[in-house]
Amino acid sequence: MAHSKLGFNEKRQTFWGWILISPLCLGLTLWVAFPMGLSFFTSLTKWDMLSKAQFVGFKNYISIFTEDELFLKSIRNTLYFTFLSVPLQMITALAGALLLNSQVKGKRVFRTIFYLPSLIPLVVSSVMWLWLFNNQYGLINYFLHSFGINRIQWIDSKEMVIPSLTIMNVWNIGNVIIIFLAGLQGIPNDLMEAVDIDGGTYWHKFRYVMLPLLSPIILYNMIVNMIKCLQLFVEPYIMTNGGPVNSSLSFVLHIYNNAFKYGKMGTANAMAWVLFILTMGISLLIFKTSTLWTYYEGDK
Amino acid sequence: MMRSRKTSLTIIIYLLLSTGAISCLIPLVWLLRSSLMSTEDMFKLPLIIFPRNLRFQNYVEVFTMVPFAKFYLNTVIVVIANIVGALISNLMIAYGLTRIEFKGRKLMFSLSIGTLMLPAYVQLIPLFLEWNWFGQINTFLPLIVPAFFGNAFFIFMLCQFLRTIPRDFDEAAFMDGANYPLIIAKIIFPLAKPAMAVVAIFQFMFTWNDFMTPLLFLNDMEKYTLAIGIRTFISTYYTPWGVLMAAATLTILPLIVLFFSAQKYFISGLTLGGIKG
C-alpha cells in the first residue's frame, strides 16, 4: 500500500476524516440547516400547532410590521438595550483590564472577584437583582435614600427598566475583563519601552500601543456581546414579564410569547427571521466599519 | 515629588479596583444575607442590613416546598451527559479537522465557525417543532443529544490546541500499526487533557446555567432542572423571598466550588476562546 506522509493513503485519510467529523456534519444538518429550513417554511404559514398549517405566503412578514404594534416596540426596546449595554460593557471591561494590568499587588484576588459575577446563571442574577432593585426594600434604593437621594423606581418605571437591565448586564462583564487583560499581557514589552524612550506618557501607550493591538479582541467581543444582547430574554421573562407597559418587552420574549402563549407559530418564526437578518446586518456593519479602527499585525 | 505622585496614583488604582470588587461582591453578599432571613424580616423598614436571627430553616424549606432535590438530580444527570458528549464529539471533530488531510475539511471548519455567529433563538422554535415531531418533548433527550454533535466554540478551541501537538506523535504510532481511533484515545487524549478539562468545565457551566432549553422542552415539575426550578418559587400571590434566595444560593454553590477548584482552566478557556477571533 502506498503510504503518504502521514501513514495512511489518501483514500483512507479521506474516509477517516469524514468519519471523525461526521458528528459535525450530522449536527449541522440536524440542528442548524433542517431547523432553519423548517423555520422558514413555518414562517410562510398560519399555524397554531393544533390544526393543520395553512400556507399564507409572505403575509406574516407584512402583518408583523403593519398589524403588530408590539413587534416594533420590542425591536426598539431590544436595540435600546443593546446600544446602551455593549458600549458600557466594553468601556467597563477595558477599564477593569487596564487597572488589573497595572503594577499593583493582589491582582489575582481582584481578578478572581471581578470574574465571579460571570459565573452566576442569568436566572439567579435575575432573581437577585429583582430583589436589589426593589423599590422599598431593595439595597440600591436604601443606599440612595441614606445619601439623601430620592428613591428611583428601577424596574417598575417605563423609563428606567432598560437602564436597570443594562446595569445588571455590566455587572457580569468579568469574563471580558479577563480576555482583555490576557490581550494586554500579550503586548510585547519592547513596544511599551519604545514609548518610554520617546518620552511618551501612559496616554500615548494606551492610544498608540494598547488600543491598536487590542482592537481585534475588542471587535470580536463586541460582536459576541451584541449578539447576546439582541437575544435578551431571561431577565425580562423573570423580572418584569416585559412590563411595565411592555417597555421591557424584548424581541425574543415577544417571539416566545407568540409561539408558546398565543400559538402563532408562523408569526413567531417570521419574527425570528427578521431578527436574524437584523443581527447579521448589524454584525456586518460592525465588521465593515471595523477596518477603520482595528489593527492586525502584518497589515500596513 | 515624582515619588509622591506615584504613590497617589497607586492609591487611586487601589481605590478604583476596590470599588469594582465591592460592586461585584455586594449583590452576592446580599443574596446570602437574604437567604438567611425570614420573609417578614426582609420586608421591614428600616432595612435590617445584618440579620440577627438567622433563619437556616429557609434551606430546609427549599427542599420541602418543591422537589428541589429532584431538580438537582435532574441537572446533574443532564450536565454529566452533556460533558460526556462534548468530550467525545469535539475531540473527534477537532482531530479530523486538524490532523487529517482531506478535501472539504476547510469548508467544514468554516461552516462550524459560522454557527458561532448564528443567534440561538432562530433555531429555537424549529428545534422545538423538530423534537415535538420526534415525540421527545418533556424528556431529557433534547437537552442532551445535541451535545454529542460538537459545539463550534469547543471545536475552534480544540483545533487551536491540537495544532500545537507535533505530528510526529501520530506518525510514530502509525509505524507501530495504530489506527486513528487508537491514536486519538491513546496519544492525543492524554496530551489534550488540559484542553479537555476546559471543555468539561465550560460545558458544565453552559448546561448548568441554561434556561431556555429546559424551559421549552420540560413540562412536568418532576423533570425540571435547577435553572427553571427556581422559577417555581416566584408567584404573583406569594413569593417566599427568603426561601427563593436560599434556592438561588444553592444553585450557584456548585459553580463557585468548581471555579475555585479549577480556576486556571477557567482563565485558559476564556483566553483561548476569546482572543483568537
Nearest-angstrom CA–CA distance, A166 and B31 = 20
CA distance A159 to chain B (A): 23
Are residues B250 and B180 in contact, defined by beta-carbon separation less than 8 angstroms? Answer: no
Domain-embedded: residue A43: no
The ipTM estimated for the assembled molecules is: 0.88
Q: Where are the alpha helices (DSSP H) in chain B?
A: 2-35, 39-42, 57-65, 68-99, 105-114, 120-133, 141-144, 152-162, 168-175, 180-183, 189-191, 193-209, 212-217, 226-229, 241-261, 263-275
- Residues spanned by the domain of A83: 59-293
DSSP state of B148: G
Nearest-angstrom CA–CA distance, B151 and A169 = 25
pLDDT value, residue B258: 92
pLDDT value, residue A283: 86
Are residues A67 and A154 in contact, defined by beta-carbon separation less than 8 angstroms? Answer: no
Domain-embedded: residue A299: no
Are residues B90 and B151 in contact, defined by beta-carbon separation less than 8 angstroms? Answer: yes
- Does A128 sit within 8 Å of B30, measured CB to CB? yes
| Mutation target among B125, B174, B187, B218 for the A interface, most CBs of A within 10 A | B125
Residue B276 pLDDT > 60: no
Q: Is B248's Cβ below 8 Å from some Cβ in A?
A: yes
Domain-embedded: residue A216: yes
Domain-embedded: residue A170: yes
Any idea what the Cα angle at residue B263 is, between residues B260 and B267, rounded to 5°?
150
Domain-embedded: residue A5: no
The CATH number linked to A119 is 1.10.3720.10
- Does B43 sit within 8 Å of A6, measured CB to CB? no
Contacts of B239 (CB under 8 A, 6+ apart): B233
- pLDDT tens-digit profile of B140-190? 999 999 999 999 989 988 998 888 888 888 888 888 878 888 889 888 999
- Does B121 sit within 8 Å of A275, measured CB to CB? yes
DSSP state of A50: S
Contacts of B121 (CB under 8 A, 6+ apart): A231, A233, A252, A255, A272, A275, B212
- Chain A residues in contact with B27 by the CB 8 A cut-off are 117, 125, 128-129, 132, 171
Q: Is B107's Cβ below 8 Å from some Cβ in A?
A: no
- Does A13 sit within 8 Å of B146, measured CB to CB? no
- pLDDT tens-digit profile of A237-249? 999 988 788 999 9
Q: Which CATH class is domain B63-275?
A: mainly alpha
Residues of chain A with pLDDT under 70: 1-8, 297-300
CA distance B54 to chain A (A): 18
Binned at pLDDT 50, 70 and 90, residue B2 comes out as low
Residue B218 pLDDT > 90: yes
- Does B117 sit within 8 Å of A280, measured CB to CB? yes
pLDDT value, residue B275: 45
Any idea what the Cα angle at residue A187 is, between residues A184 and A189, rounded to 5°?
125
User: Could you tell me the sign of the dihedral formed by the alpha carbons of B46, B50, B52, B55, in that order?
Assistant: positive
C-alpha cell at A262: 398565543
Dmax over CA atoms of chain A, in Å, equals: 85
- Does A186 sit within 8 Å of B270, measured CB to CB? no
- Does A217 sit within 8 Å of B108, measured CB to CB? no
Domain-embedded: residue A15: no
Nearest-angstrom CA–CA distance, A259 and A49 = 9
* Inter-chain Cβ pairs, chain A and chain B, closer than 8 A: 261
User: Could you tell me the sign of the dihedral formed by the alpha carbons of B256, B118, A123, A42, in that order?
Assistant: negative
Are residues B37 and B51 in contact, defined by beta-carbon separation less than 8 angstroms? Answer: yes
Residue B3 pLDDT > 80: no
Q: How many CB atoms lie under 10 A from the CB of residue A60?
A: 25
Domain-embedded: residue A220: yes
- pLDDT tens-digit profile of A67-77? 888 999 999 99
Long-range Cβ contact pairs of A220-223 (< 8 A, separation 24 or more)? A220/B274, A220/B275, A220/B277, A221/A90, A221/A93, A221/A176, A221/A179, A221/A180, A221/B274, A222/A86, A222/A90, A222/A286, A223/A283, A223/A286, A223/A287, A223/B117
Domain-embedded: residue A22: no
Domain count, chain A: 1
CA B177 to chain centre: 39
- Does A34 sit within 8 Å of B25, measured CB to CB? no
pLDDT value, residue A1: 39
pLDDT value, residue B273: 58
CA distance B204 to chain A (A): 11
- pLDDT tens-digit profile of B23-76? 999 999 999 999 999 888 888 877 788 888 888 889 999 999 989 999 999 999
Nearest-angstrom CA–CA distance, A181 and A100 = 7
Backbone angles phi, psi at A84, to 5 degrees: -85, -40
Contacts of A135 (CB under 8 A, 6+ apart): A141, A151, A153, A154, A156
Phi-psi region of A263 (alpha: psi -120 to 50; beta: other; left: phi over 0): left
| Stretch 13-32 of chain B: residues touching chain A, C-beta under 8 Å | 13-14, 16-17, 20-21, 23-28, 30-31
CA distance B168 to chain A (A): 9
